[in-house]
Amino acid sequence: MSAINFSTERKPLSAFSLAGLADIVLLLLIFFLLTSSFIPQFGIRVNLPQIDASAPTDARYVTVAITSDGDYYVEQERTPREGLLDAVQRVAGDRTALVLRADQEATVGQFATVAGVAQALNLRVLMATERVDLRPN
């Protein structure tokens, strides 16, 4: 009877192909590029004033916008000046702050109106701004 030889002359594979990994990375890149255009943007167009620093805005805040025409929007719904308190109170819930997105052409009186509503509801007022590029040209 002959002995079975289980030894092999082949060496173990020490390198592997990165083609599969490159395919996955490419697919992820395409996915993120396509879905990044679906990020919702704030619908009311206002020209925000520019300052050196700005506070972040997110869903924890009630958003009030004042356009250059003097129109008020609470959470993107047009609201008359007289109904501003009721509209903010309706959407405030447990939120503790109000973000004001006022156009550069808005008046101090319009800002004071919104600040008065916020004070009546015990909400902090944050002013949304555009950040100025501080790097030298």
In terms of residue numbers, what domain contains 61? 50-131
Checking if the pLDDT of 123 tops 70, the result is yes
Residue 33 within a domain? no
Of the chain, the percentage scoring pLDDT greater than 70 comes to 72
Residue 37 within a domain? no
Residue 94 within a domain? yes
Q: Say which CATH number the domain at 79 has.
A: 3.30.420
> pLDDT: is 128 or 50 the higher one?
128
pLDDT digits (tens, 9 = 90+) for 57-107: 456 888 898 888 888 999 888 989 898 989 988 888 888 888 888 888 888
Residue 103 within a domain? yes
Residue 28 within a domain? no
Q: So what's the pLDDT on residue 18? A: 74
Q: What is the number of domains present in the chain? A: 1
Residue 79 within a domain? yes
In terms of Cβ atoms closer than 10 Å to its own Cβ (0-12, 13-18, 19+), residue 49 is middle
pTM for this prediction: 0.54
Residue 102 within a domain? yes
Residues facing 102 on adjacent strands = 66
pLDDT digits (tens, 9 = 90+) for 14-29: 677 777 888 888 888 8
Residue 22 within a domain? no
Question: What's the rounded Cα separation, in Å, for the pair 88 and 99?
Answer: 11
